[in-house]
Amino acid sequence: MVISEVTVVETTGGNKGIVQIFAVIIFMVSVLTLSGSGCAPGPTGTHVEANPEDISRIKKVGLFVKVEKGFAVRLQYVSNAEEVFLANLICYSLAARSGARLAGASATAAGRIGTAIGAAAAVAGEISPDKQATRALSAEAAKMNSAHAIGSALVDKLQNANVFPTVAIVQSQSRSTAQEGGIDTLFVLTVRRWGLRPPLDSKYGTGDKAMAQLELDMNHKLVSSTTEKILWERDELYLDSKSYSLGDFKHKEGLLGSRMEHLLQLVCDRTANEVHRMR
C-alpha cells in the first residue's frame, strides 16, 4: 500500500514528492512506535498461585496500600486525554495521506488543519463532561482517595474477617522496616484505578442522567518480608452490582463513600475466600 503511494507522489509532486515520501515514512515509524509504547496491566486473574505451606506459616501481615490512579469519572467512550490522542491521530493520518497524494502545499494545509483540530480537541478535553464530573465529585471522593484512607478502611475489615492472624498498616515496603515490626509477610494492594464507569449493559449516557457504577481495579500481592518472594498475586476488577445516575452520585451525600466501602468489603471477602482455600 505504501509503495503505491510513493509511485503516485513521484509522478505528481516532483522534488516535493521526495519530501512527502520521508514524511510518510516518519509518520509510519512514529505511529508504529506509539502503538507499542503503551503500558497496560495484564488481564485480571491469578498470576501466582499460593503454596498452602507458605500461607499457613503467616503470623503477622503488614498491609501496604498504593494508589496508582486516583478517582476519575469515565462515562464517555473516549475520555479526556484520549480525545486529544485520537484527534491528533486522525489529523496526522489525514495530513500524511493527503500529502502523499497531492503536492507539498496540500500536505501543509492538512497539517495546519490537523494542528488546529488537535488544539481544539485539547481545549475540549479540558471541558469534557468526564473531567467536569470528576471535579464535581472530588470533594466526595477525597474521603477515600488516598492510600491511607483505603488502608484504614481495609485493615479493620481484614481483622474482623480473621483473614490473617494479625494485620497492621505499614508505610513502606522496606524489608528492614517490616522485620523490625515483627512482620513476616507484606500484603501489597495496588489500586490501579477507581471511579465511575458506565454499567456494562447500558448505553453511554450524557449529563446527570447518565448511569454509572463504581469500579475498583486492584492488584493483590502477598510478599515474604524475609525472602521477598511473591507468595500469591492476583489482579481483580471489582464492579459494584448496583448502578446509579451520575446526578445521584453528585447530589446524594455519602453515596460514593458507601459504595466504595461496599467494594472494599468485597476486596476483604474475596481475599478471605482465597486465603482460607489455600490453608
Partner 1 sequence: MKLKRATMGLIVVSAFHLLMCAGCASRQVKVALKYAPTGTALLSNLQPAVVSLQVVDQRPKEQRDNIGVQRNTAFGTRHAAVVSKTREVQVVHNALKNELERSGHRILNPGEGRAEIVVSVALTQFFFDSKAAGDHIELVASIRADVVVSAGIGNVPQVLFTVESAYRDFVQLGLIRPALFGLWGMLSSVTQKSDIEKALNGALAEFVRLFCLEPKLRQVFI
Task: Give me the residues that bind partner 1 (CB under 8 A), please.
Answer: 1-2, 27-28, 31-32, 34-38, 40-45, 49, 74, 77-79, 81-82, 85-86, 89-90, 93-94, 96-98, 101-103, 105-106, 109, 197, 200-201, 204, 217, 235-239, 241, 270, 273-274, 276-277
β-strand pairing of 185-197 with 211-224: antiparallel
Q: From the CB of 81, what's the least distance to partner 1, in Å?
A: 7
Q: Give Dmax over CA atoms of the chain in angstroms.
A: 78
CB 244 within 8 A of CB 211: yes
Name the packing angle between helices 255-278 and 147-160 (round to 10°). 50
Q: From the CB of 76, what's the least distance to partner 1, in Å?
A: 8
Q: Which is nearer to partner 1, 183 or 267 (CB)?
A: 267
Residue carrying the nine cell digits 505528481? 12
Q: Which is nearer to partner 1, 66 or 262 (CB)?
A: 262
Q: From the CB of 93, what's the least distance to partner 1, in Å?
A: 4
Residue carrying the nine cell digits 478535553? 125
In 3-state terms, what secondary structure has residue 227? coil
DSSP letter at 114 equals H
Q: From the CB of 83, what's the least distance to partner 1, in Å?
A: 9
Q: Which is nearer to partner 1, 140 or 217 (CB)?
A: 217
User: Residue 40 and residue 47: Cα distance in Å, rounded?
Assistant: 15
User: Residue 139 and residue 228: Cα distance in Å, rounded?
Assistant: 38
Q: From the CB of 206, what's the least distance to partner 1, in Å?
A: 13
DSSP letter at 254 equals T
User: Residue 248 and residue 170: Cα distance in Å, rounded?
Assistant: 35
Q: Which is nearer to partner 1, 22 or 77 (CB)?
A: 77
Q: In 10 A of CB 123, how many CB atoms?
A: 10
Q: Which is nearer to partner 1, 161 or 168 (CB)?
A: 161
In 3-state terms, what secondary structure has residue 231? strand
User: Residue 213 and residue 245: Cα distance in Å, rounded?
Assistant: 8
Q: From the CB of 232, what's the least distance to partner 1, in Å?
A: 13
Q: Which is nearer to partner 1, 15 or 36 (CB)?
A: 36
Supply 46's cell numbers.
491469578
Q: Which is nearer to partner 1, 175 or 270 (CB)?
A: 270
Extended strands (E) in 151-277: 166-169, 185-197, 211-224, 230-239, 244-245
Q: From the CB of 277, what's the least distance to partner 1, in Å?
A: 6
